Amino acid sequence: MRYIDTPEFGAPEVMCLAESEAPECKAHEVRIAVKAAGVNRPDVIQRQGHYPAPPGASPILGLEVAGIIEQVGSGVSQWQVGDKVCALSNGGGYADSVCVPAGQCLPIPEGLSMVEAASLPETHFTVWSNVFQRAALKAGESFLVHGGSSGIGTCAIQLARAFGARVFTTAGSAEKCAQCEALGAEQAIPYREADFLEVLKETLGKQGVDVILDMVGGDYLQKNIFLAARDGRIVNIAYLQGAKAEVNFMPVMLKRLTLTGSTLRPQSDAVKAGIATELKEKVWPLYADNTLKPVIASVFPMEQVVQAHQLMESSQHIGKIMLDMEAG
C-alpha cells in the first residue's frame, strides 16, 4: 500500500510518499480500504514531534478516514467486507489501508461522499465527548466555542445549535465570522479587532456563558473564567497560545465553575465505541435530514499532503482539510 511517511520530525516538507505491506487487522479490528482521510491539528503536532502515537497505534499520521471494509477481524460481528464506513482511527489514516477498532466505525450518512464522510469522525467524537458528555450542554443554555472557523469550530457551532443552545464564537476575520454566523452562531466576534470578553459581557450582561470550548489557552484562560456563568463549565482541548498563565481562581469558587479538559486519542477503545454509539443514535440522523452539513475547506490528492499541512498551519481555511486518496 501507499502511505505518507514521516522519516523525521519537522516542517511539512519532511513528509513523503512511501510503500509497505498492508497491515493485518487484529481480532477486534477491521481493515478499511481508505478512499479519503481528514487532516487535523493533532497530525501537525505529531509531525512536529510533540504528540507521539499511543502504545500500539500506527505511527503513520491520520486520525479519521472513510472507505470500504476489506478485512474483518475474527471477533467482529457488526461489520462485513464491502461495508462503507467512516471511522476514527488511532493512527494510520494517511494510507491506502488502515486497521481500526470495529467500535470506532460508523456507517456513512445517507447522501454524503467519501470525502464528506471522512471529515466527520475526529471533530464529532471530540465535540460530542467534550461539549455534550463532559460539559453536559443542554437546550436553552449558552455556548461559546473559540476558533469557530476551524474543523472543530464549524462542527461545534452546528451541533450546539441543532440541540437548542445559543451559540457564540470567535474567529480571525470578518469573512470567517460571517461563515460562522451562517452556520448558526448568534454572534461571531473577530478576535483581532475586538475583545470577546467585553463584547459578550455587553451581549449577555451578568448572565455569562454556560459552556465554553477552548482550543486557544494563553490569556483566554482568565477571560473564560471571568465570562463563565454561575455553574458554568469550561473545557480545554488544546493550548495553541500556551498552557501556562497567571490566573485569578476566585471566580471559580464564587461561581461554582467546572474547569475540565481531555485528549481523545489515548482513551480506550471502549470509551470511543461508546461515543460512536451516541453519535449514530443522536447525530447521524441530522445529516440524513440535512440539519447538519459537512464544511470542507479544501481537498488535496494524497501526493499533495505537504500543501495540505501548509494550509492547516496557515489557519486561512474555514472548515476541514481533506485528502482524497483516489484523486491525482
pTM, two decimal places? 0.96
Q: Confirm if 321 and 94 have CB atoms less than 8 A apart.
A: no
Residue where a domain terminates, one of 227, 261, 295: 261
Say whether pLDDT at 136 is over 90. Answer: yes
Give the span between the Cα atoms of 264 and 267, in whole angstroms. 6
Alpha-carbon 308 to chain mean position? 16
Question: 257 with 271, same domain?
Answer: no
Average pLDDT, the chain: 97
Q: So what's the pLDDT on residue 292?
A: 97
Bridge-based pairing state of the strands 97-101 and 29-39: antiparallel
Grade residue 328 by pLDDT with cuts at 50, 70 and 90: low
When pLDDT is averaged across residues 42-67 and rounded to a whole number, the result is: 95
Give the span between the Cα atoms of 65 and 52, in whole angstroms. 19
- Residues 173-209 have pLDDT tens digits of 999 999 999 999 999 999 999 999 999 999 998 899 9
Question: 90 with 131, same domain?
Answer: no
Give the span between the Cα atoms of 182 and 157, in whole angstroms. 10
Residue where a domain terminates, one of 218, 243, 261: 261
Q: So what's the pLDDT on residue 317?
A: 95
* Phi then psi dihedrals of residue 192, to 5 deg: -80, -20
- Residues 291-319 have pLDDT tens digits of 999 999 999 999 999 999 999 999 999 99
Let me know how long the chain is: 328
- Of residues 265, 272, 262, 270, the one with CA closest to residue 53: 265
A 10 A CB-CB count for 279 gives 21
Q: So what's the pLDDT on residue 184?
A: 97
Give the span between the Cα atoms of 92 and 69, in whole angstroms. 15
CATH number at residue 287: 3.90.180.10
When pLDDT is averaged across residues 143-152 and rounded to a whole number, the result is: 97
Question: 210 with 131, same domain?
Answer: yes
Give the span between the Cα atoms of 200 and 96, in whole angstroms. 46
Q: So what's the pLDDT on residue 48?
A: 97
Question: 271 with 289, same domain?
Answer: yes
Question: 177 with 278, same domain?
Answer: no
Question: 180 with 246, same domain?
Answer: yes
Quote the crossing angle between the two packed helices 220-227 and 196-204, to the nearest 10°.
10
Question: 82 with 189, same domain?
Answer: no
Question: 47 with 105, same domain?
Answer: yes
Question: 154 with 25, same domain?
Answer: no
What domain range is 42 assigned to?
2-120+265-324
Domain tally, the chain: 2
Residue where a domain terminates, one of 242, 261, 280: 261
Question: 9 with 58, same domain?
Answer: yes
Question: 75 with 104, same domain?
Answer: yes
Question: 128 with 250, same domain?
Answer: yes
Using a pLDDT cut of 90, give the percent of the chain over it: 97
Q: Around 128, how many Cα atoms within 13 Å sit in the side-chain half-sphere?
A: 20
The grid coordinates of residue 293 equal: 452539513
